[in-house]
């Protein structure tokens, strides 16, 4: 669990550095992203129950994939959309989370 968290943080930092490089290279473009760290924050801050049998990295990937498939640049992505995606994925995994 701790190694999984450390690995997630390393990947987040590497991605953040790459985004910073892109922002420097293309200052006239706006870049925003949501990461697995954000997904886990939404779970923890929203007191969303995730059984210990659910792999966090797999859950985060499925939530990010769902967010990507639903993305609408004219609306953007808000915390509520992340929470709804979490509930949707948990329901798909048979956890029975409330939407």
**What is the pLDDT tens value at each position of the chain, 99 positions in all?**
788 778 888 988 999 999 999 999 999 988 778 888 889 889 988 888 898 889 888 999 999 999 888 887 777 778 888 899 999 999 999 886 654
CB 79: neighbour CB atoms within 10 A? 13
Q: Tell me the whole-structure pTM to 2 decimals.
A: 0.75
pLDDT for res 97: 60
pLDDT for res 98: 56
Residues in the chain: 99
Q: Alpha-carbon dihedral of residues 39, 94, 4, 31, nearest 10 degrees?
A: -30
Are the beta carbons of 37 and 43 closer than 8 angstroms? no
């Amino acid at each position: 669990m701790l190694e999984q968290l450390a690995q997630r943080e390393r990947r987040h930092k590497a991605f953040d550095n790459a985004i910073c490089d892109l922002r420097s290279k293309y200052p006239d473009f706006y870049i925003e992203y949501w990461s697995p760290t954000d997904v886990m924050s939404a779970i923890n801050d929203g007191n969303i129950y995730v059984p210990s049998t659910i792999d966090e990295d797999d859950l985060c990937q499925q939530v990010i994939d769902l967010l990507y498939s639903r993305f609408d640049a004219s609306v953007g992505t808000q915390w509520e959309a992340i929470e709804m995606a979490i509930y949707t994925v948990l329901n798909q995994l048979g956890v029975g989370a409330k939407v």
